[in-house]
Structure 1
Amino acid sequence: MTPSTEAETPEQEPSGADGPLDRDTFPHIREPRGAARLPLGDGTWHQLARQYVWVQLISSGIVLLIALAATLVLALVLGQWWAWIAGGIFVVITAWTMIITPRQARSYGYQLRRDDLVFRRGILWQRVVAVPYGRMQLIDITHGPLDRGFGIAQLKLVTAAVSTGVVIPGLTQEAAEVLRDTLVDVAETRRTGL
């Protein structure tokens, strides 16, 4: 897919870095350093809300505490020595996940182009998906209790092809609603035989 020389965003997109899509977000998208990385291309990339990192850290911390408690109960109370190995591996993996969460969150981004929405994520395992506006069948906003407490939500785009479904996590509630309305408006004008 080659970028168009015309305007890259739909007419309904809120403009400027001061718009609701860019409020309380990271300042720029983080790219992998290698020469073989997937390029970002031209245009305005929008990012996740900063609160997303806190939600992920709190969720992982709760899982970590539960795993530690289960390990201690199994090992000390029930005398199951193997629990130290399993618990130790789980704690190391969860701690590593918590350490890389801020960097990982800055690798997420989405771009509203003339004919499609492009979503990218990942540092080591990169994924770039372009979803044509005319192929969107469902746009869903969801948020759990912790998400609501921090004022964020996730936006899910569903198409006929299961592999091109996109979930954009960690949007501010306002950005999720504006993006949903924008995508619905644009998708209605771009329906392609559905």
Structure 2
Amino acid sequence: MDEQPAGPPSTPPPPGPSVLPLRGDHGADWHPVSPKLAGVRRVSATAALLPAALALAFTSVYLWWWLAIGAGAVVLVWAWLMWVLGVQVRAISWAELPEELAIRKGRMWRRLVTIPYGRIQYVDLSSGPYKRQAGLADITVNTASPASSGDIPGLPVEVAEELRVRLAARGEAQRAGL
């Protein structure tokens, strides 16, 4: 009979920063974006679709009754958007890893972007009128290659400002070490 050596069973090493799966946290400290972003996107969608629905409804009353079908379709699209925008916002998260920034987006079509700190050229902070009203801002991390750039929408302004400063400093430090 062969005896098995005593000791703990071997476990695979945890994934490194370049092996991040699309699901699970795997030791990373993932931060969600603000839920207020869903409200901002809902206001924008309503501002775009409401005039179309009203124009179709008005035209259906005074010109062609069958345009009411179009108004109903626009209302259905609006109702679907009100639901899907909340799902989309809940699917956005980001993490600062030791060597890179990771950004996850999407429920059906998932996307994971990792941006090495040494490749960061500059970090933009932007906020439109609806987002300013809600106290939100967007961070855009730019690199030499547009394919490796990324953005984090809907952060509280204070968090966005701190993150911008931190990412710019890390980018400078990593580039200086090259």
TM-score (norm 2): 0.79
* Larger helix share, 1 or 2: 2
Q: Give the alignment's Cα RMSD to 1 decimal.
A: 2.3
* Match in the other structure for 1:145: 129
Q: Distance in 1 between matches of 2:73 and 2:146?
A: 33
| 1:43 lines up with 2:28 in the alignment | yes
Deviation, structure 1 residue 74: 3.6
* Match in the other structure for 1:114: 98
**Does the CA contact (< 8 Å) of 1:48 and 1:106 recur in 2?**
yes
Deviation, structure 1 residue 54: 1.6
Check 1:189–1:93 CA distance in 2 against 1; reply closer, same or farther (3 A cut): same
* Match in the other structure for 1:54: 39
Counterpart among 36, 61, 67 of residue 76 in structure 1: 61
Q: Distance in 2 between matches of 1:77 and 1:189?
A: 66
SS at match of 2:165: helix
**Does the CA contact (< 8 Å) of 1:136 and 1:158 recur in 2?**
yes
Structure 1: gaps of 5 or more residues: 5-36
Alignment map for 1:178-193 (pairs within 5 Å) = 178-191=162-175
SS at match of 1:139: strand
| 1:3 lines up with 2:16 in the alignment | yes
Counterpart among 74, 77, 80 of residue 96 in structure 1: 80
**Does the CA contact (< 8 Å) of 2:22 and 2:104 recur in 1?**
no
Deviation, structure 1 residue 117: 0.3
Deviation, structure 1 residue 104: 2.0
Count residues with an aligned counterpart: 160
**Percent of paired sites with the same residue:** 32
Check 1:91–1:50 CA distance in 2 against 1; reply closer, same or farther (3 A cut): same
Alignment map for 1:18-37 (pairs within 5 Å) = none
Q: Distance in 2 between matches of 1:43 and 1:163?
A: 23
Deviation, structure 1 residue 80: 8.0
* Match in the other structure for 2:9: none
Structure 2: gaps of 5 or more residues: 1-14
SS at match of 1:140: strand
Q: Distance in 2 between matches of 1:172 and 1:160?
A: 27
Q: Which has the larger radius of gyration?
A: 2
Q: Distance in 1 between matches of 2:121 and 2:72?
A: 44
